[in-house]
Structure 1
Amino acid sequence: MNMIRINDMLAVGPQPSTSEVRSLADHGFAGLINARPDREEPAQPGNDAEREAAGHAGISYNFIPVTMATITEADVRAFQAAMVDAGGTVFAHCKTGARALTLHVLGEALDGRMASVEITDLGQRLGIDLSAASRWLDAHRQFRPEVSGFFDPRTRSVQYVVSDSDTRKCAIIDPVLDFDEKSGAITTRSADTILSYVAESGLTVEWILDTHPHADHFSAAQYLKEKTGAPTAIGARVIDVQRLWRGIYNWPELRIDGSQWDRLFSDGDTFKLGSIEARVMLSPGHTLASITYLIGDAAFVHDTIFMPDSGTARADFPGGDARTLWKSIQNILELPGGTRLFTGHDYQPGGRAPKWESTVGEQKRANAHLAGVSEEAFAGLREARDRTLPMPKLILHALQVNIQAGRLPEPEANGRRYLKFPLDALEGAAW
């Protein structure tokens, strides 16, 4: 098998055959990383065949498909995690080995173990062109703000810490309060992980932002406000969502003025994150109240546009609408092509590692729901797809918390809190 040893724990090389994958354990390898997107060329085995062959070999397998133009920090961190999880030496491949090695050296550079000049020297010694890694690092240093994503595997949600390197001020976007519907248990593990990151990074929380009232997880906005003192914010049309769900829950005492948050943002409103200008874009369609936060060159597009291989978000929740969603997406795609887009969920098609960052240009070129698609075709596709989707398992649990900015129900006489949800309230939903 053609491969290049990088160190004791990593070798990279070109596309292996399935028989070569099956022999990796015999050559002392504990894991395989496939960094090649499917269908780059007809002869490649592909993700499913490689996963099966790795299983037969008894080695770990991770699918982190990238192109040089679309590598993100999430891909780099997924590569590092796959190396650790393997518990031994890993063979990583793409078509030639260049992308696999690029993922490795970018991780070394981001963690301060390798300088740009060392990346260039390594590439020259190995005969592998690593100039794309140097360009990536140069571009990464220019990004404002800095963005760190935290993927929650239980809900497939992505939480963000968005920071200004000049002032060390940050915002937390769409934080998750952990909830287990089987036991009724509430924990703050996800939110505490974010707080630990903030403390370790020397950041000060300036904002706690939700893009909309979520249907698939509880918001940790109130918990984080209590811990940090930072103000909470959401889109002003949350009052329409409150009014809608007050009727669904038969909850006449619910305040429907949005006063549960410290600030309600309207379309076009601006604010500051440290020294970085931020603007709010109304982006309804998935929900009535959905907004996009445009902070510097980064747009947090919530459940509107997913990664290109996953398309777009559903529009069949109460108050949702496919044609409204289309118009919101078009507004987002009018941003400059290099604008970074950060999505709110990732469902890992093909079992690939979680991803959450793309660009406007990439979405225009590669999103199957959007590229070359008309409004009429999009609405038809979206509505047909939504009719097949069961409701999120936590929608009736979560909305009564999230339309109150993450506040849990008040304890009753016995000291316990109780959720309430109606039966047969979402008529016509797929099972």
Structure 2
Amino acid sequence: MPLIQITEKLWVSPQPGVDEFPCFHDQGFETLINVRPDGEDAEQPGNAKEKDAAHHAGMDYAFIPVAASSITEADVRAFQKTLGEADGKVLAHCKSGTRAVLLHLIGEVLDGRMKPGDVAAFGKSHGFDVSGAEKWLSRHHQMRPEVKGFFDPRTWSVQYVVSDSATGKCAIIDPVLDFDEKSGATATKNADAILDYVEAKGLEVEWILDTHPHADHFSAARYIRSKTAAPTAIGERVVDVQELWKGIYNWQSLPTDGSQWDKLFAHDEEFTVGSIKGRVMFSPGHTLASITYFIGNAAFVHDTIFQPDSGTARADFPGGNAFELWKSIQTILALPDETRLFTGHDYQPEGRQPKWESTVGQQKRENKHIAGQDAASFVKVRTERDKTLPMPKLILHSLQVNIRGGRLPEPEENGKRYLKIPLDALEGAPW
């Protein structure tokens, strides 16, 4: 098995057999990275067998499956993170080793350690055709907007800074306020990381955008507004969600006019992020108020479509509807095939590293809940699956914060804030 050294720490190889893993450990490799998706051919061992064999041989293991035509920056950053955290030598493989080299080279250029013009010569000197990296970098240079994702492993949520490099303006989408349900503690670690990035990049926050009131984490929209003075916004049908949950919480004093946000967007309403045009598309089904933000060549779909190996969002929350979700998905998939799609969660199936970017074309071809389905079959699959899913552990905690634009309950006379949890409010949900 040829092992090709790329850096002082990184080697790449074609597909190895699992029987070779102990030899890799004997040669000083402490981490194995598999960047090959399962099912490419009948001969490959696959993620599960490789993980077991690596651990049995005494090596750490990471699964970052990519196709050369659909590498995203999240894949590149996951590769870099695994490499950076490894204590010793790292071996990365795909079928031939090329994709591992592409991930490395793209990261080197993005971080300024290599010039784009040096990529081809580097690849040739190591025996690889790296034209895929050159094409990726060319496309990336032309992309508008620039999108930075922030993954929160506690809630599997992805938050975004969407920026216009021409003007330095940006929007923050679906920021997370940290909450520990065991202790009742709140924190701003996620939000502060976003604000640190904004400051480091010299950006000006123009919008704080919610796609819908979330059921699995608190929104940090209010906190970020207090730090930036940027306006908050959400779709105008949030008033229907407020009315629904007002009844569930028996919250008679709750205003249900959406006044907790600075702006309520109508369907098809346009806005801008710097010089980049944006448009709002209603995407109900997961909730009554779900919307998609279409900014430049990027669409932020949150809990509508997940990564292709995860499928689609559930539709059994109060106000959800599987058929409406199908119709919303079809509207999103009517966008041009090259449109970038950014989801709001990633649950890391098969233990792979987090991913949050795909394209319309990729979703149509590969999404396990969409490809080959019609409305009736989708509704059947979605409904049957939803019946097996327990409610999110924070749904009753988070909605009373998120239907108020991220405002925590007001302090009581002792200075403490209290959440109100209705009992037996969501009957029929599996435990």
TM range (shorter): over 0.9
CA distance in 2, matches of 1:171, 1:230: 9
Question: In the TM superposition, what is the alpha-carbon distance from 1:171 to its structure 2 partner?
Answer: 0.4
Question: In the TM superposition, what is the alpha-carbon distance from 1:24 to its structure 2 partner?
Answer: 1.6
- State the number of aligned residues: 431
Match of 1:94 in 2: 94
Match of 1:219 in 2: 219
- Counterpart mapping for 1:31-430 below 5 A: 31-430=31-430
Return the letter of the residue paired with 2:225.
K
Question: In the TM superposition, what is the alpha-carbon distance from 1:23 to its structure 2 partner?
Answer: 2.2
Give % identity: 67
1:103-132, Cα deviation, whole Å (9 max, x unpaired): 000000100111122110011112211000
Between stretches 231-240 and 51-60, larger displacement belongs to 51-60
Return the letter of the residue paired with 2:38.
D
1:313-339, Cα deviation, whole Å (9 max, x unpaired): 000000000000000000000000000
1:78-118, Cα deviation, whole Å (9 max, x unpaired): 00000012111100000000000100000001001111221
1:169-221, Cα deviation, whole Å (9 max, x unpaired): 00000000000000000000000000000000111110000000000000000
Return the letter of the residue paired with 1:331.
T
Give unmatched runs, 5+ long, in structure 1.
Answer: none
CA distance in 2, matches of 1:414, 1:324: 45
Between stretches 82-91 and 413-422, larger displacement belongs to 82-91
Match of 1:30 in 2: 30
CA distance in 1, matches of 2:279, 2:58: 50
CA distance in 2, matches of 1:177, 1:245: 20
Return the letter of the residue paired with 2:37.
P
Question: In the TM superposition, what is the alpha-carbon distance from 1:364 to its structure 2 partner?
Answer: 0.5
Question: In the TM superposition, what is the alpha-carbon distance from 1:39 to its structure 2 partner?
Answer: 1.1
Return the letter of the residue paired with 1:87.
D
3-state SS in 2 of match to 1:66 = coil
Q: Compute the TM-score of the two structures, normalised by the length of structure 2.
A: 0.99
3-state SS in 1 of match to 2:6 = strand
1:201-243, Cα deviation, whole Å (9 max, x unpaired): 1111100000000000000000000000000000100000000
Question: In the TM superposition, what is the alpha-carbon distance from 1:22 to its structure 2 partner?
Answer: 2.5
CA distance in 2, matches of 1:39, 1:85: 28
Question: In the TM superposition, what is the alpha-carbon distance from 1:374 to its structure 2 partner?
Answer: 0.5
CA distance in 2, matches of 1:19, 1:117: 39
1:232-269, Cα deviation, whole Å (9 max, x unpaired): 00010000000000000000000000000000011000
RMSD: 0.6
> After TM superposition, where is structure 1 displaced by more than 2 Å over at least 4 residues in a row?
none
3-state SS in 1 of match to 2:246 = helix
Return the letter of the residue paired with 1:8.
E
CA distance in 2, matches of 1:338, 1:168: 25
CA distance in 1, matches of 2:176, 2:88: 33
3-state SS in 1 of match to 2:256 = coil
Give unmatched runs, 5+ long, in structure 2.
Answer: none
Return the letter of the residue paired with 1:292.
T
